[in-house]
Amino acid sequence: MASAPPGLQISQDGYTLVPLTTTLKRGKATDFRFTVNGPDGAPVTRYQVKHEKKLHFIVVSRDLGDFWHLHPEEAGDGVWSVPLTLPDAGAYRMFADFAPEGGPDLTLGADLFVPGDYRPRPLPPVERTAQVDGYTVTLAGDLTAGQVTKLVFTVSKDGTPVGDLEPYLGAKGHLVAIRAGDLAYLHVHPEEDTTAAGVTFAASAPSGGDYRLFLDFKHGGTVHTAAFTVRSTGTAAGHGLEDAHPGH
């Protein structure tokens, strides 16, 4: 059996994600804590550094309308701690993206909940351009099921390409891609750019269907996040998702 895409499991290869709480109060700043327990059952304390950090912590609302990319601090004894405020009621997915020392690259996922009246938002339509904080970000390239493809993002402001993006996590940008419907987490790798104006990634979609892409880039000392809905072509996993989106 082919292995599942990352992010769908709370436990894999002997490593288990253990949130110390999974229910948060709406709008309340929380010291969110979790451990990754290893094959011996104890919290992992030694990690490899990937993209300048030992652990990348992503939270999305399950409707993919909200996204956070945070870097928790080690509070000691393998306990990770991060300030987290979830503004709306609903269901959320947390991801821990890491590699234990001597262990595999893993992305484990767990659900979080905020009680209250919940109105899920529809996935935004497929678009090549996104606006964020006064920047316009344009996407070139496509996702194709079962193939590695290049995605190139160009950032501009007031109609002029931004040529002086600042390094963020060891590259000119950081990309997280998540499949709509089950929140599978794609492995995406930054590529060395041959052109100054673009930020390039190599991505591989496990199936056809819709994905939400979150590009973090740094400019003016601030990290900005541009989000795109992208439809992957092809049917590597055989879903026939085209029929599930009448009107698109």
Residues that bind Cu ion (CB under 5 A): 56
Supply the minimum distance, in Å, between the C-beta of residue 68 and Cu ion.
10
Measured distance CA(138)–CA(153) in Å, rounded: 6
- 86, amino acid identity: L
Place of tokens 């930020």: 199
Measured from the CB atom, the residue of 99 and 241 that comes closer to Cu ion is: 99
Supply the minimum distance, in Å, between the C-beta of residue 202 and Cu ion.
18
Q: How far is CA 93 from CA 61, 65, 96, 120, in A?
A: 6, 12, 10, 14
Q: How far is CA 125 from CA 191, 199, 206, 245, in A?
A: 27, 22, 20, 11
Supply the minimum distance, in Å, between the C-beta of residue 216 and Cu ion.
8
Measured distance CA(223)–CA(27) in Å, rounded: 22
Supply the minimum distance, in Å, between the C-beta of residue 56 and Cu ion.
3
Using CB atoms, what's the residue nearest to Cu ion? 56
Supply the minimum distance, in Å, between the C-beta of residue 73 and Cu ion.
13
Measured from the CB atom, the residue of 56 and 224 that comes closer to Cu ion is: 56
* Contact assessment for residue 206 and residue 237, using Cβ atoms and an 8 Å cutoff: yes
What backbone phi and psi angles, to 5 degrees, belong to 144?
Answer: -130, 130
